[in-house]
Amino acid sequence: MVRAERVCKNFGALAVLKGISLEVGRGQVLCMVGPSGSGKSTFLRCINHLEQVNAGRLYVDGDLVGYRQKGDKLYEQAPRVANKQRRDIGMVFQHFNLFPHRTALGNVIEAPIQVKGVRKADAIARGRELLERVGLQDKADTYPAQLSGGQQQRVAIARALAMDPKLMLFDEPTSALDPELVGEVLAVMRQLASDGMTMVVVTHEMGFAREVADQLVFMDGGVVVEAGDPREVLTNPQHERTKLFLSRLL
């Protein structure tokens, strides 16, 4: 579902991604960890067309991201094509970014109606199903300010799912939450994974990574330092940088 081949991204003179190669199979969960500034968010943003890679190739479901290839030459991707590809990717951020003036249900139905042209009645029916799936069927008419952080993040997940994505990206989805609210969000993500969603999750929740991830990637300084089965990486890290990072998390 995702294939990165020596992906590089720089901002001016600052090289942020220095040749990231990885693959995420359909239905798999990849968890990405690493110190602040290592390029994790930038990598997710490249997958989601929010940044364009400068070198290397990035594919989602076989489609090149950010460029169009003709022969062995690359050309800018038409915005129409980029937008179409982007619709199939759901993203959940650390700060939930809900529309404050819309109810929970209003947030969930917005994009299907505006972007996909789904009929309002259909969007509402599906929106209610999705709110139920994240355990918020009784909060449909509640505004974000009246919801806890964990509830807001679950609305954000339902909102992303409303576009029927084939890939979900999570950027530290529980980092802004009070500790007692982390579990309810991880439980929704765990369920989503077991329902077969392909997911790339930047997180420092090692329990989640250990149980749910098919692959754990440790990034530092814009490179993949170590990747593999999460249980192996966590119990037997091979690199000093990984050991140091993990020891600081505990």
Check binding of 13 to ligand ADP (CB under 6 A): no
- Residue (of 25, 33, 32, 27) closest to 3 by Cα position: 25
Choose one: 40-48, 65-73, 74-82, 226-234; the region binding ligand ADP (CB under 6 A): 40-48
**Binder of ligand ADP out of 1, 2, 7, 16 (CB under 6 A):** 16
> What's the min distance (Å) between Cβ of 9 and Mg ion?
13
Q: Which does 39 bind (CB under 5 to 8 A by kind): Mg ion, ligand ADP, none?
A: ligand ADP
For the segment 10-69, give every residue that binds Mg ion (CB under 5 A): 41
Q: Which does 42 bind (CB under 5 to 8 A by kind): Mg ion, ligand ADP, none?
A: ligand ADP
In the chain, beta strands by DSSP E: 2-11, 14-24, 29-33, 55-60, 63-64, 67-70, 73-76, 89-92, 167-171, 198-202, 215-220, 223-228
CA angle, corner 145, sides to 139 and 146, nearest 5?
45
The residue among 131 and 156 lying less far from Mg ion, judged by its C-beta, is 156
β-strands 55-60, 2-11 pairing: antiparallel
| Contact in structure between 108 and 155 (CB atoms under 8 Å) | yes
Residue number with the smallest Cβ distance to Mg ion: 41
Element containing residue 44 per DSSP (H, E): helix 40-47
Q: Compute φ and ψ for 73, nearest 5 degrees.
A: -105, 150
> What's the min distance (Å) between Cβ of 14 and ligand ADP?
6
Choose one: 30-38, 99-107, 108-116, 203-211; the region binding ligand ADP (CB under 6 A): 30-38
**Binder of ligand ADP out of 27, 37, 122, 125 (CB under 6 A):** 37
| Residue labelled with tokens 């995702």 | 2
Residues at the site binding ligand ADP, with contacts judged by CB under 6 A:
11, 14, 16, 34, 36-42
